[in-house]
Amino acid sequence: MDPGAETRKTPPTKGHRMSQQSLTVIGLGPMGQAMVKALIEAGIEVTVWNRTAAKAEAMAELGAHRAETAAEALDANRVIILSLTHYQAMYDILGPAADHLRGKVIANLSSDSPENTREGAAWATEHGAQYLVGGFMSQGDDIKHPDSYLYLSGPKDVFEAHRDLLRPLSRQEYLGDDYGLAQVFYQAELALFHAFLIGWEQALAIVDRSGADLDRFVAGASGHPNSYRDFMREFAEGAKHGGWGDLHSFKMMHAGAQHVIDASEDLGVDARLTRTVQDYYRRAIEATDKAGHPVPVYRIIRGDAA
């Protein structure tokens, strides 16, 4: 029996599965651990390896096999999931074991830039592996949350051949052959998410510091997310034509940002995010004055109005 086979035959005894799927997970931070649990729950046999051994031991207690070395983890299965802080960790771990990569399928679900992702794919495929890239748009490490999903890209045949094995991880959004595309979408969503989270914390701090009822505010503010969806779609349409806005709207937004800054700073709340926002509108006003026609913030952000 080939221990590296992705579908293992086990004896058809009562209580045993006719066939057992298996894969390896390297990297056991919160995401790697969540994946191991979801895979084991789905009846998949999982081998794990992690730089800090204690995390692998904890997974072994849940039923995972623990490899002693990264090379052993590669040898254990044909399909290898990487869940690491960044792509450098892949080179640190797999570099010394690179002669074990031939014939493997590496699904790197770690975050990094699209360019680093494409370079990583080239590195792995030069060593004889097939490669898939993933970006987890999960609700934190709750990959089983109904709103969690996984962007994937890489060769379609590789995706098609392994989509069922990877299905327990999250809903899949396959984007296409370009290895970098999953990270383009993932990092773009994170750009929004980061600004949203800091903006939300500023909003909470304003209400909290004012002495108003935080729960009452949250109940109202979190009750109408659809209005953001409409802005997203309208601005996306605008982006296709160079962005939204005219001089009046830029001045209105600039003045509005000042009110948020005042409301924040009067209460001792940090308003640096809003100062950054206001600076975009200041630049749009100046660029518009200079050009003699509207220069939307989108053009400044896109790098068209340097």
111 is a contact residue toward ligand NDP (CB under 6 A): yes
Q: What is the DSSP letter of 99?
A: G
Stretch of 88-96, 177-185, 217-225, 275-283 contacting ligand NDP, by CB under 6 A = 88-96
For the chain, what is the radius of gyration of the CA atoms?
A: 24
Q: What is the DSSP letter of 155?
A: -
Q: What are the distances in angstroms from CA 276 to CA 53, 65, 93, 282?
A: 43, 49, 39, 10
138 is a contact residue toward ligand NDP (CB under 6 A): yes
Q: Which of 153/264 has CB closer to ligand NDP? A: 153
Alpha helices by DSSP H, listed for 95-155, are 114-126
Shortest CB 53 distance to ligand NDP, Å: 8
Q: Which of 58/273 has CB closer to ligand NDP? A: 58
174 is a contact residue toward ligand NDP (CB under 6 A): no
148 is a contact residue toward ligand NDP (CB under 6 A): no
19 is a contact residue toward ligand NDP (CB under 6 A): no
Say if residues 67 and 3 touch (Cβ distance below 8 Å).
Answer: no
Q: Which of 32/296 has CB closer to ligand NDP? A: 32
Alpha helices by DSSP H, listed for the chain, are 30-41, 53-61, 70-76, 87-94, 114-126, 156-166, 181-210, 214-221, 226-239, 247-265, 272-291, 297-302
Residue 193: what residue type?
F
84 is a contact residue toward ligand NDP (CB under 6 A): yes
From 22, 24, 83, 264, residue interacting with ligand NDP (rule: CB under 6 A): 83
Q: Which of 69/85 has CB closer to ligand NDP? A: 85
Q: Which of 31/206 has CB closer to ligand NDP? A: 31
CB neighbourhood size of 226 (10 A): 8
Residue closest to 131 by CA, chosen among 143, 119, 141: 119
Q: Which of 52/227 has CB closer to ligand NDP? A: 52
Stretch of 24-32, 61-69, 162-170, 243-251 contacting ligand NDP, by CB under 6 A = 24-32
Q: Which of 27/154 has CB closer to ligand NDP? A: 27
Say if residues 43 and 116 touch (Cβ distance below 8 Å).
Answer: no
From 7, 10, 85, 276, residue interacting with ligand NDP (rule: CB under 6 A): 85
From 123, 136, 151, 174, residue interacting with ligand NDP (rule: CB under 6 A): 136
Shortest CB 79 distance to ligand NDP, Å: 18
Cα 144 to Cα 37: distance, rounded to the nearest angstrom? 10
- What pairs with residue 133 in β-bridges? 108, 153
- What pairs with residue 105 in β-bridges? 79, 130
Q: Which of 134/296 has CB closer to ligand NDP? A: 134
- Cα dihedral across residues 55, 58, 62, 65: positive or negative: positive
108 is a contact residue toward ligand NDP (CB under 6 A): no
Residues 188-227 interacting with ligand NDP (rule: CB under 6 A): none
50 is a contact residue toward ligand NDP (CB under 6 A): yes
Residue closest to 129 by CA, chosen among 16, 26, 273: 26
133 is a contact residue toward ligand NDP (CB under 6 A): no
Shortest CB 209 distance to ligand NDP, Å: 28
Sites of contact with ligand NDP (CB under 6 A): 27-32, 50-52, 55, 83-85, 89, 92-93, 110-111, 136, 138, 140-141
